Amino acid sequence: MSLIEIDAVTKTYHGTSEDVTPLEDLSLRIDEGEFVALMGPSGSGKTTLLNLIAGIDQPTAGRVTVAGEEVSALSARELARWRTRSVGFVFQGYNLLPVLTAYENVEVPLLLLRLPRADRDRKVMTALGAVGLGDRAHHLPRQLSGGQQQRVSIARAIVADPKVLLADEPTGNLDRVAATATLDLLKRLNTEFGKTLVMVTHDALAAGAADRLIHLDKGRIVEDAHA
């Protein structure tokens, strides 16, 4: 069953001197439970596609549907509510708030859900435990290694139990040991917890963790292969 449906999507950014179209008439289906890696040269539309799935950006033409919800038709307020419950995003640069502890960074998405404090605490500690950082809950980001910070970022992404995890170059800032640990964690979230995962990467090792590899070039899919 397709969890993510991209139908004839074009995205154009209008500049002062010329227009840029990173995606052009692209259609794609991603099934529930798949682990998909998006690869391609810089400017091929990988991150744009990820942002459209997340509702961070809107298509110029076409339709984006996730779990039966037409994301491209939601208002800004509806998008914020939908995104909190449905999509977790893992960034290359971690995007942790430096003045907040690991616990507080992971808690941020839950503050939008108006949950009782006890429920928030249970969810945060469950997420931190899932990434192996239950004992680092009260550490600030600067007190953690790069790999640990990325694991906090992943905990934040899964804390609201979203249907889809999106990762933009999740190993890009990590050494090989930390990168391998991060990929192992993402793979476990996919296989053991059934998370549908879409990852942008330039790293062949990272792509090798996925079940399906999609190559983009000039806004179009040029290869789509299952492992």
What are 27-61's pLDDT values in tens digits?
A: 999 999 999 999 999 889 999 999 999 999 999 99
Most distant CA atoms of the chain, gap in Å: 54
What is the tens place of the pLDDT at every residue in 166-212?
999 999 999 999 999 999 999 999 999 999 999 999 999 899 999 99
> Model pTM?
0.92
Question: In this predicted model, what pLDDT tens digit does every residue of 8-25 receive, in sequence order?
Answer: 999 999 877 888 999 999
Please check whether residue 204 is in contact with residue 28, taking contact to mean a CB–CB distance below 8 angstroms. Answer: no
Q: Which amino acid is at 144?
A: L
Is the sign of the CA dihedral 113, 117, 123, 125 positive or negative? positive
What pairing do the DSSP bridges indicate for beta strands 61-66 and 2-14? antiparallel
On whether the CB atoms of residues 22 and 43 are closer than 8 A, the answer is yes
User: What pLDDT score was predicted for residue 14?
Assistant: 87
Domains and CATH numbers, the chain: 33-58+81-226 (3.40.50.300)
Share of residues in the chain with pLDDT > 70 (%): 100
Q: Is 157 exposed, middle or buried (0-12, 13-18, 19+ CB in 10 A)?
A: buried
User: Is residue 227's pLDDT more than 90?
Assistant: no
